[in-house]
Structure 1
Amino acid sequence: MLAAHKAAQNPIPQLSPSLCFNTSYLRDFFRTSRAQLDDTINTSLNSLLTPSLTSPFDPLSTSDPSTNRRGKQPIPSDTCQDFTQQTVFPTWSARSRVLSYCSIVAASPDPDDPDRTVIEAENMAQSHRVINERLDPYSGRFFPKEPRTEMLGSLLRNENAVENIVRDRTWRILNERCVGLDPAQRGWQEAFKTWEEQQRT
């Protein structure tokens, strides 16, 4: 079962500046990765419950909403640990690597920006403009074209914010469904950091 979950992960794309500046692809990568794991976390956890772990079907359960159904069954610690370390954390790691790499790209000089000449020309023209807002209220307005590094940085800040929200939710659901997953209540940040350090050793 875990193998199926691992196979469903979208692999990390080849890291390069061209990847980062392809913002449509970048958005699709994050959206698809979250859809395959975090958005469907309850379904994935339900699939971890094998028939031997669930109660036999009770016909009365269909008329009793308080009956503890499969979706509410606690999942054993070992099963959850395997799922978290083999599926959840690797998927998060892939997204973190893209975010970290592209953040470096966004903060670096970009002499290959195809709009660089246009931006420089606009800035030069603006520096020679005569601004008289009494005669023309709009003469002081100037909306320069953003360098692609700035647009990338804005996208990454948004994706980082979404990532934190998504991981908080996933970790909360994992702890609600799993037995003893995070007994020290470290939170996903500490647990994920520990896992990453273990991968480097």
Structure 2
Amino acid sequence: MANPPSSPELSPKFCFSTAALRDFLRVSRSSVDDTITQHLNALVVPSRVGFDPSSTSLRGARPPSRQIDSTSCQSFQDKVLFPAWQTRSHVLSYCALVATSPDPDDPEAAIRESENEKNRERVVDERLDPYSARYFPREPRTEQLASAIRMEQGIENIVRRRTWDIVKGRCGESAVTWEEALADWRKKQEVRQKSAVSK
């Protein structure tokens, strides 16, 4: 069984390096979600009946994927899938918080202020130059980060929905959505942590 990738050391520097953030998310998704079929195939118990050579003489539709034992499936979800999702959720939540916080260390703040000052002093005469009113201020890095986080959260929702559809198909159909399943797992984790602390 694969181990979920560990959480990176979270800091504003990590978040503002959107390349590092995207790399972490990409590696995490590729190690669990993109290879979900292989992970589930590894959970299938080999057949107890030997190979029947006559089975190759008939052509027919490919048999449906074999169902996976429910305990193996639950174990995979609890130990690999949900922890990976939780780690990514934690990283995205932290970086979303960084994006909405004040950024006193923004290296481009002085440049942006200078450009804004020049823009206020400009004389705009659209009769002489119809493009003279155009001004595109630089986005603060917090806004760039917020935009990247929104995009990554959208990708995350699509990836999780697709992964959960495959898991449901192989582990037995369930009316539970991935959001409900993850919330239920989180509650169980909290109960375990509280009982461990109280001992």
- TM > 0.5: yes
- Tell me the TM-score normalised to structure 2 length: 0.89
Distance 2:138 2:57 in 1: 60
In 2 relative to 1, CA 67–139 (structure 1 residues): closer, same or farther, beyond 3 Å? closer
Deviations 1:146-176 (A, max 9, x none): 1100000000000000000110011111000
Q: Which residue of 2 aligns with 1:136?
A: 129
**Backbone CA RMSD of aligned residues:** 1.7
Distance 2:169 2:176 in 1: 15
In 2 relative to 1, CA 195–112 (structure 1 residues): closer, same or farther, beyond 3 Å? same
Q: Which residue of 2 aligns with 1:57?
A: 51
Equivalence map 1:116-195=2 (5 Å)? 116-179=109-172, 182=174, 185-195=175-185
Q: C-alpha displacement at 1:56, in angstroms?
A: 3.6
Distance 1:131 1:58 in 2: 84
In 2 relative to 1, CA 117–56 (structure 1 residues): closer, same or farther, beyond 3 Å? farther
Distance 1:130 1:105 in 2: 37
Contact 1:10 1:33 in 2 (8 A): yes
Distance 1:62 1:177 in 2: 27
| Unmatched tracts of structure 2, length 5 or more | 192-199
Deviations 1:33-75 (A, max 9, x none): 111111111111111113246x643444486352427xx1110
Equivalence map 1:9-88=2 (5 Å)? 9-52=4-47, 56-59=50-53, 60-61=55-56, 64-68=59-63, 72-88=65-81
Contact 1:76 1:179 in 2 (8 A): no
In 2 relative to 1, CA 30–188 (structure 1 residues): closer, same or farther, beyond 3 Å? same
Distance 2:52 2:119 in 1: 76
In 2 relative to 1, CA 62–118 (structure 1 residues): closer, same or farther, beyond 3 Å? farther
In 2 relative to 1, CA 130–98 (structure 1 residues): closer, same or farther, beyond 3 Å? same
Residues paired across the two proteins, number: 190
Q: Which residue of 1 aligns with 2:83?
A: 90
In 2 relative to 1, CA 65–147 (structure 1 residues): closer, same or farther, beyond 3 Å? farther
In 2 relative to 1, CA 16–63 (structure 1 residues): closer, same or farther, beyond 3 Å? farther
Decide which moves more: 136-145 or 44-53: 44-53
Deviating 4+ runs (over 6 angstroms): none
Decide which moves more: 59-68 or 141-150: 59-68
Q: C-alpha displacement at 1:23, in angstroms?
A: 0.5
Q: C-alpha displacement at 1:111, in angstroms?
A: 0.8
In 2 relative to 1, CA 68–62 (structure 1 residues): closer, same or farther, beyond 3 Å? farther
Q: Give the letter aligned to residue 112 of structure 2.
A: I
Q: Which residue of 1 aligns with 2:187?
A: 197
In 2 relative to 1, CA 197–30 (structure 1 residues): closer, same or farther, beyond 3 Å? same
